[in-house]
Amino acid sequence: MLEITKESIEKATAKARQTKPLVKVIEFRLYQVTNRTSGAKYTVKFSKVGGKKFAECDCKATKICYHIGSTIGLHIVLAAQTVKA
Protein backbone atom coordinates (compact mmCIF):
# COMPACT_ATOMS: atom_id res chain seq x y z
CA MET A 1 0.00 0.00 0.00
CA LEU A 2 1.25 3.46 -0.88
CA GLU A 3 0.32 6.56 1.05
CA ILE A 4 -1.31 9.27 -1.02
CA THR A 5 0.39 12.60 -0.45
CA LYS A 6 -0.39 15.89 -2.16
CA GLU A 7 2.94 15.85 -3.99
CA SER A 8 2.83 12.24 -5.15
CA ILE A 9 -0.75 12.48 -6.38
CA GLU A 10 -0.08 15.72 -8.26
CA LYS A 11 2.69 14.06 -10.27
CA ALA A 12 0.51 11.03 -10.93
CA THR A 13 -2.49 13.06 -12.08
CA ALA A 14 -0.29 15.15 -14.38
CA LYS A 15 0.91 11.98 -16.10
CA ALA A 16 -2.63 10.61 -16.21
CA ARG A 17 -3.77 13.75 -18.04
CA GLN A 18 -1.16 13.08 -20.75
CA THR A 19 -1.85 9.36 -21.17
CA LYS A 20 -5.63 9.49 -20.58
CA PRO A 21 -6.20 5.84 -19.66
CA LEU A 22 -9.73 4.41 -19.55
CA VAL A 23 -11.16 4.11 -16.05
CA LYS A 24 -13.92 1.74 -15.08
CA VAL A 25 -15.50 1.37 -11.63
CA ILE A 26 -15.50 -2.24 -10.42
CA GLU A 27 -16.93 -1.45 -7.01
CA PHE A 28 -16.52 1.27 -4.40
CA ARG A 29 -12.78 1.93 -3.97
CA LEU A 30 -11.88 -0.51 -6.74
CA TYR A 31 -11.13 0.58 -10.31
CA GLN A 32 -9.89 -0.94 -13.52
CA VAL A 33 -7.54 1.20 -15.59
CA THR A 34 -6.85 0.35 -19.22
CA ASN A 35 -3.90 1.73 -21.16
CA ARG A 36 -5.29 2.95 -24.49
CA THR A 37 -2.09 2.17 -26.37
CA SER A 38 -1.12 -1.26 -25.08
CA GLY A 39 -4.53 -2.43 -23.86
CA ALA A 40 -2.94 -3.48 -20.57
CA LYS A 41 -5.33 -3.53 -17.64
CA TYR A 42 -4.48 -2.65 -14.05
CA THR A 43 -6.49 -2.73 -10.87
CA VAL A 44 -6.35 0.19 -8.46
CA LYS A 45 -7.61 -0.05 -4.92
CA PHE A 46 -8.08 2.73 -2.36
CA SER A 47 -8.22 2.41 1.39
CA LYS A 48 -8.25 4.64 4.42
CA VAL A 49 -6.37 3.77 7.59
CA GLY A 50 -6.31 6.01 10.63
CA GLY A 51 -7.28 9.10 8.63
CA LYS A 52 -4.55 8.51 6.05
CA LYS A 53 -5.35 7.62 2.46
CA PHE A 54 -3.66 4.75 0.73
CA ALA A 55 -3.76 3.31 -2.74
CA GLU A 56 -2.37 0.28 -4.45
CA CYS A 57 -2.01 -0.73 -8.06
CA ASP A 58 -0.98 -4.07 -9.52
CA CYS A 59 1.42 -2.55 -12.06
CA LYS A 60 5.20 -2.65 -11.59
CA ALA A 61 5.50 0.88 -10.14
CA THR A 62 6.70 1.16 -6.55
CA LYS A 63 5.26 4.64 -6.02
CA ILE A 64 1.94 6.37 -6.70
CA CYS A 65 1.53 5.66 -10.42
CA TYR A 66 -0.55 7.37 -13.08
CA HIS A 67 -3.13 4.58 -12.86
CA ILE A 68 -3.85 5.79 -9.35
CA GLY A 69 -3.64 9.38 -10.62
CA SER A 70 -6.25 8.65 -13.29
CA THR A 71 -8.79 7.30 -10.78
CA ILE A 72 -8.36 9.63 -7.80
CA GLY A 73 -10.62 12.37 -9.19
CA LEU A 74 -13.49 9.95 -9.73
CA HIS A 75 -12.80 8.25 -6.42
CA ILE A 76 -13.05 11.54 -4.49
CA VAL A 77 -16.45 12.24 -6.10
CA LEU A 78 -17.80 8.74 -5.41
CA ALA A 79 -16.43 8.68 -1.86
CA ALA A 80 -18.09 12.02 -1.09
CA GLN A 81 -21.43 10.73 -2.41
CA THR A 82 -21.13 7.54 -0.40
CA VAL A 83 -20.46 9.42 2.82
CA LYS A 84 -23.56 11.58 2.27
CA ALA A 85 -25.82 8.65 1.41
Binding site for Zn ion (CB under 5 A): 42, 57, 59, 61, 65, 67
Shortest approach of Zn ion to residue 79 CB, angstroms?
Answer: 19
- Non-local (6+) Cβ contacts of 6 within 8 A are none
Judged by CB, which is closer to Zn ion: 61, or 79? 61
Distance between alpha carbon 6 and the CA centroid of its chain, in Å?
A: 13
- HSE-CB of 48 using CA atoms within 13 angstroms: 6
Shortest approach of Zn ion to residue 6 CB, angstroms?
Answer: 19
6-19 and 66-84 helices, crossing angle to 10°? 110
Judged by CB, which is closer to Zn ion: 40, or 77? 40
Judged by CB, which is closer to Zn ion: 59, or 80? 59
Shortest approach of Zn ion to residue 58 CB, angstroms?
Answer: 7
